[in-house]
Amino acid sequence: MKNTLLIFAFFVCTIANGQLVTSKNLSDNSYGEKKLKDAPKKIYLNQFNINYQLIAASSESSSGGKTRAEMAVGMVGIDVDVMQEITDNAYAMLVKKLTDAGIEIVSSSEAEKTDFYSNWTKAQGGNPSKAQLLGYVSTVPTGFDFFYKKMDSKGKTKGSFIVDTTPALSKDLGDIPVFEANISFQFVTIEGNSSYVTDATKMKGVVEYQIPEVAIAKSAEGFLGGKIETSRVAARVVWKGGMNGSGANTILSYSPKGKIEIPGVMEEKKFKEYVAPDMSFNTTFAGVAYTNDKELEVSHQVKADPAAYKAKTQAALNEYLSMVVDNFIASLGN
């Protein structure tokens, strides 16, 4: 009986401390893994972008144009410095895994000499930005050098996210593997719909902390504009491997299989806004959020547990990146 209880206790602890990111909730879009055994034991860390949703807003107008509903949801309880720290810790873990495996990390000064980056600008991470994805804090590891093609007046860089020209960079660097990551954390989704018959408009917000398959942000036209911007979540290693043309011999690529839920971080809430031609229901505005030199009244606030947010976000990010790096190291045959 005692042994049975011990086994049960161990089983419960295993579930409680189970991984958030596993092979079951990541899609493996890789090919050519076996060919990596012939790759140089080097890697260039090209991109390391981690985005944390801070605010979400949307609007919906009825078909007849008589009603319009707006909703803005903001997260409170987490400092931007914590987000940067999580990113820095994950980067340090990744670097340690690679160096412990005897893999040389090629410097940005070498990448700067390539034809690929001849007309690009080099910048250094460590300065969280709210301009990359509207509603998100975008981070790059402190001290990490990255390249961008252009920067607009708001500080948004262009050409600094995962693109399909990476095999060319791999070739220019001496045909070595190249690592890239663009991972987002999202705490709320907002949906809207309208009725042609009643000319009413509804908005619904659902709080659910997750790594989404695709991060949804607002476009440059503003939080309550109708257009959205998307950012695909993925982490990968690309190796040209001497292949002719624009392709690559090997790509190890992993992306969320749907959403990856991270429970126990946010208070559980659902929000609704309803506007009809003869009536409306709107909540009291709960505060003001500042985003990229703009003010936005927040109709709803969601509290995050600071300790749980830091611990579980760090765990999920580390597990995601480890999946990619561990498989890369194993494929090299070290």
Q: What is the DSSP string of 278-307?
A: TEEE-PPP-EEEEETTEEEEESEEEEB-HH
Residue 291's identity, in one-letter code, is T
Residues facing 53 on adjacent strands: 136
The pLDDT of 10-38, averaged and rounded, is 80
pLDDT reading at 154 higher than 80: no
Rounded CA separation 239/300 (Å): 46
Distance between start and end Cα atoms, the chain:
45
pLDDT score recorded for residue 72: 78
pLDDT tens string 34-86: 999 999 999 999 999 999 999 887 655 445 554 445 667 889 999 999 999 99
CA 190 to centroid of chain Cα atoms: 18
> In terms of Cα–Cα distance, which of 184, 242, 179 is closest to 217?
184
- Which helix (H) or strand (E) element contains residue 208? strand 201-211
pLDDT reading at 210 higher than 50: yes
pTM over 0.85, yes/no:
no
* CB 254 within 8 Å of CB 30: yes
pLDDT score recorded for residue 191: 65
* CB 44 within 8 Å of CB 177: yes
Confidence band, pLDDT 50/70/90 cuts, at residue 262: very high
pLDDT score recorded for residue 59: 55
| DSSP code of residue 167 | H
- Which helix (H) or strand (E) element contains residue 270? strand 270-276
Residues facing 75 on adjacent strands: 302
> In terms of Cα–Cα distance, which of 50, 94, 43 is closest to 182?
50
Residues facing 191 on adjacent strands: 204
Instruction: Show the tokens assigned to 176.
Output: 């070595």
Q: Are strands 294-298 and 287-291 parallel, antiparallel or unpaired?
A: antiparallel
Residue 137's identity, in one-letter code, is V
CA 313 to centroid of chain Cα atoms: 11
Distances (CA, A) of 24 to 16, 32, 166, 186, 251: 17, 21, 27, 20, 20
Rounded CA separation 117/302 (Å): 42
> In terms of Cα–Cα distance, which of 120, 237, 101 is closest to 170?
237
Q: Phi and psi at residue 218, in whole multiples of 5°? A: -85, 155
